């Protein structure tokens, strides 16, 4: 049995196939549209012919088309195989690229047009846990005070605004390792394909 994990909310989509124990069996990074993602997924599943027992999809916030395509692909695949789908926040995926060394961290990501997406996380045994929902800030909008006090900064795109000092955290693991970690620690019981709600889309970013 294998678990398929995909994050298409970023330009370089991450596709990972995990063993039952959570080891990365095969992974791909894809730039390009739905067609290229499909090609890489086909390739990935051919490389590891183990039956897929569930799919984990990053549900946003992130690229408008990427998030929707990834979710739709996951729903179609899960319905076709009769396996559950797991959804996880995309900023949580970013958080998992660094070791939870303790305390809190702020994840920042570009929302396009000078806007920012941010979410606070705190460290726990199960990795990073979100402290409240993600926030979308327009260009020039004041930063929330809680962001300024966050001890750690995860800023893979190097977009920290002036009010935040750089605290030196970058992607410590690759995206595939982060997705693997999430799949083994954070996935929960999964959702049948026909019970996915639209809440994922509330904070979809502005990269139209």
Partner 1 sequence: MKLLAIETSCDETAAAVVESGWTVRSSVVASQAQAHARYGGVVPELAARMHLERLGGVVAEALEPVTGGLRGVDGIAVTRGPGLVGCLAVGVSYAQGLALATGLPLVGVNHMTGHVLAAKLAEPDLEPPFVALVVSGGHTDLIHYRAHDDVALMGATRDDAAGEAFDKVARMLGLAYPGGPEIDRAAGSGNPGRYRLPRPLLPDFNFSFSGLKTAVLYLLRGLDPTDPEVVADVAAGFRLAVVETLVAQLEAAAESAGVSQVVVAGGVASNGLLRETVRERFAKVARVVIPAAPLCTDNAAMIGAAGLVRSSLRGFDREPLDAEPGLRAYAA
Polymer length of the chain: 208
- The sign of the CA dihedral 121, 96, 180, 17 is positive
**For residues 184 and 51, what is the distance between their CA atoms, to the nearest angstrom?**
17
| Cα separation, 173 vs 159, whole angstroms | 19
Shortest distance, CB of residue 116 to partner 1, whole angstroms? 20
Binding flag, residue 80, partner 1 (CB under 8 A): yes
Choose which of 48, 53, 64, 130 interacts with partner 1 (CB under 8 A): 64
Q: What is the DSSP string of 27-39?
A: EEEE-S-HHHHHH
Q: Is 34 in the site for partner 1 (CB under 8 A)?
A: yes
124 lies in the binding site for partner 1 (CB under 8 A) = no
Confirm or reject binding of residue 51 to partner 1 (CB under 8 A). Answer: no
Nearer to partner 1, 36 or 124 (CB): 36
143 binds partner 1 (CB under 8 A): no
CB of 5 to partner 1, least distance (A): 14
Q: Is 68 in the site for partner 1 (CB under 8 A)?
A: yes
Reduced 3-state DSSP string for 154-200: ECCCCCCCCCCCCCCECCCCCHHHHHHHHHHHCCCCCECHHHCCHHH
Contact residues for partner 1 (CB under 8 A)? Answer: 33-39, 41-42, 45, 64-65, 68-81, 193-194, 196-198, 201, 204
């Amino acid at each position: 049995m294998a678990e398929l994990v995909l994050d298409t909310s970023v330009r370089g989509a991450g596709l990972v196939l995990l063993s039952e124990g959570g080891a990365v069996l095969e992974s791909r990074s894809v730039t390009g549209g739905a067609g290229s993602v499909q090609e890489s997924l086909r390739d990935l599943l051919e490389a590891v012919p183990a039956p897929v027992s569930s799919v984990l999809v990053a549900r946003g916030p992130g690229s408008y088309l990427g998030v929707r395509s990834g979710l739709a692909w996951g729903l179609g695949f899960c319905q076709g195989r009769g396996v559950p789908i797991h959804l996880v926040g995309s900023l949580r995926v970013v958080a998992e690229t660094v070791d939870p060394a303790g305390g809190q961290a702020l994840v920042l990501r570009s929302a396009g047009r000078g806007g920012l997406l941010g979410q606070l996380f705190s460290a726990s045994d199960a990795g990073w846990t979100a402290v409240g929902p993600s926030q979308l800030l327009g260009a020039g909008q004041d930063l929330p005070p809680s962001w300024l006090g966050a001890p750690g900064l995860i800023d893979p795109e190097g977009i920290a605004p002036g009010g935040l000092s750089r605290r030196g955290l970058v992607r410590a693991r690759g995206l595939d390792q982060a997705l693997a970690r999430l799949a083994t620690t954070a996935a929960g019981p999964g959702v049948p394909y026909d019970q996915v709600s639209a809440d994922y889309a509330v904070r979809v970013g502005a990269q139209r």
